[in-house]
Chains A and B, each alone.
Chain A
C-alpha cells in the first residue's frame, strides 16, 4: 500500500500566483481531509469530503481557497491568488472509518 500521496512536496511561489496542491488517497478510503499546519495556529482542518462530496468546508479561510474531489482517487486544493500568510504545510489525509492516515505534506512558501 503506497499510503496517501501528495504532490508537490515543496512549492515556492510568488504572491499573487495560483497554487494547486494534489492528493491521492489510499485506495478504498471514502473520506478525504485537507489540513493546514502553521506555528501560530497548529493543525487545522480546512475541508473534508465523504464519498467525493464536500461535507464541511467551514475551515476554509476565505474565497481564495477552493477544493475539489472529482473522483475517489484524486483531490486538489487550490489557492488563487496566493499570499505570504498562506505559507504553511498542507496535509491530506484519508480514512475508511475513524482512523485517519496522513500524507507526507506539501510545504508551501509564498514570497
Chain B
C-alpha cells in the first residue's frame, strides 16, 4: 500500500516562531488533506490540497504532486497550535474517491 511519511516526528517551538511540516508519499494521489488533532483528541480538517497552494490565516499548505510531497507552514505559532498534525492521502485513481491513508503525524508543542 501507499506509504505516507511525515517529518519531523516531534517539534517544539517558542510562541511566535514559524515552522514547516513535511509529508512525503510513495505514489500518486488524487486527494491529500491536512488535519490537526488537538490535545483533547478532536480532529480538525485544515486543508484539502491535492496540488497547488492554499492559505488560511497563519496556516498555508503547498503540494507538489509530481514530486510526491506536501508542506504545511505555520507562521507566528500560538500555544493553541499545539497538537498532532496529520497528512492523509488517497491513492485511488477514481475521481471523488475518499479512502484516506494517514501518516504517523508530527507532534507540535508551542511553549509560551
Q: A-side interface residues toward B, CB under 8 Å?
A: 31, 33, 42-45, 48, 56, 89, 91, 93, 95, 97-102, 104-105, 107
Chain B residues with CB under 8 Å of chain A are 31, 33, 35, 41-45, 48, 50, 86, 88, 96, 98-105
| Known contacts A42-B105, A43-B86, A102 near B98 by CB under 8 Å | no
Is A45 within 8 A of B99, CB to CB?
Answer: yes
Separation in Å of the A70 CB from the closest CB of chain B? 21
* Given A45-B100, A102-B45, A107-B41; 19 other pairs, CB 8 A cutoff: A31-B98, A33-B98, A33-B100, A43-B86, A44-B102, A45-B99, A45-B101, A89-B41, A91-B43, A95-B98, A98-B33, A99-B33, A99-B45, A100-B33, A100-B45, A101-B45, A102-B43, A105-B41, A105-B42
Quote the shortest CB–CB distance from A76 to chain B (angstroms).
Answer: 20
Tell me the bound Cα distance from A48 to B100 in angstroms.
Answer: 10
* Residues in B whose Cβ lies below 8 Å from that of A98: 31, 33, 48, 50, 96, 98
Residue of B33, B45, B103, B104 with most chain A CB atoms under a 10 A cut-off: B45
Chain B residue with Cβ nearest A99: B48
Most buried by A among B43, B99, B100, B101: B43
A61 to B98, CA, bound (A): 19
Residues of A within 8 A of B33 (CB): 98-100
